A and B are shown apart, each in its own frame.
Chain A
Amino acid sequence: MKNNQDIEKAVQQTLDSLDNLQQLEANEFLYAKIRQRMDNTAKVVPMNYNRVMLRLAAVLVLFIGINGLSFYVLKHSSAPATQTTSGANAFADAYNLNSNTDSY
């Protein structure tokens, strides 16, 4: 199709090809299908991104909190251990168990 007139005619016919387009009927069971999809979606409530992130953040805060608390408790519980040692020393002192003086 090299003739300009033929090309122009074909172009115009193509542009007019959608004139008098018949509207199609939608599926008569469309409402039932929509309802079914909505019910299925309602049953399986997907966890949205924000909720997942919120839960992860809560777990992270809990993890850090537990670690911090453990650290704090361990750090402060070292005092009784020292006391125990000094208690042992006191016991040793009372019974002369750690004296360097030999009485042979």
Chain B
Amino acid sequence: MLKGDEIAFKTVVDTYKKMVYNTVLGFVQNLHDAEDVTQDVFIKVYENIGRFKQQSKLSTWIYRISITQATDFLRYKNRKKRAGFLSSLFGDNNEPLNEPVDFAHPGVLAENKEQAAILFSAINKLPQNQKTAFILQKVQDLSQQKIAGIMELKEGAVESLLMRAKANLKKSLTTYYSSL
């Protein structure tokens, strides 16, 4: 693939597409957006394969690109949302914002759908590092060691991030259920 081999690129796409798609979906929480961002990830992989130092596993490097692309996409979407809000304030654009309120992940068990949507909503309010660690653990079922490799942190730091993420989620969910 380093030599621009098409067959090698196709093999990489076929091998990692499920991993990338599911990781990105955890962040963007929209099936259509997740597919677009997955395409972006593989285009980045193709363009930047020369920079892959082979010090980490290819999957780790692709995970990093997936997280960066998904985060950039969310930033771009939030900017667009703010701009849309401002223009609606000034009466330029009366189109409703195409923003999903609750995300129903198709991979969640039927009896957990409602709670999972509430949890995804709470995950979105977490600080970026906590959100990344939590999604990698819960959505991708990765070990703390693997998460540490992807996030370029020590395992202890990941453990601490996960603990803080769970504490923040508990707090947020308690407030939510108390208000019902």
Contact = CB atoms under 8 A, between A and B. Distances in A.
Interface of A: 1-2, 6-8, 10-11, 13-15, 17-18, 20-27, 30-31, 33-34, 37-38
Most buried by B among A11, A13, A18, A37: A18
Given A11-B177, A18-B116, A24-B22, 17 more contacts: A1-B177, A2-B178, A11-B170, A11-B174, A14-B116, A17-B115, A18-B105, A18-B112, A21-B139, A22-B106, A23-B22, A24-B18, A26-B18, A26-B35, A30-B13, A30-B35, A31-B17
Given A11-B170, A18-B138, A34-B39, A1 B180 contact: yes
A26 B106 contact: no
Contact of B173 (A2, A11, A22): A11
Contacts, number: 91
B38 interface: yes
B18 A25 contact: yes
The majority secondary structure among interface residues of chain B is: helix
Contacts of A11: 170, 173-174, 177
Interface of B: 10, 13-14, 17-18, 20-22, 25, 35, 38-39, 42-43, 46, 105-109, 112, 115-116, 118-119, 122, 138-139, 141, 166, 169-170, 173-174, 177-178, 180
Contact of B118 (A14, A23, A33, A34): A14
Nearest to A23: B22
Given A21-B108, A31-B10, A15 B177 contact: no
Contact of B42 (A7, A14, A17, A34): A34
B49 to A, nearest CB: 13
Contacts of B139: 18, 21
A44 to B, nearest CB: 15
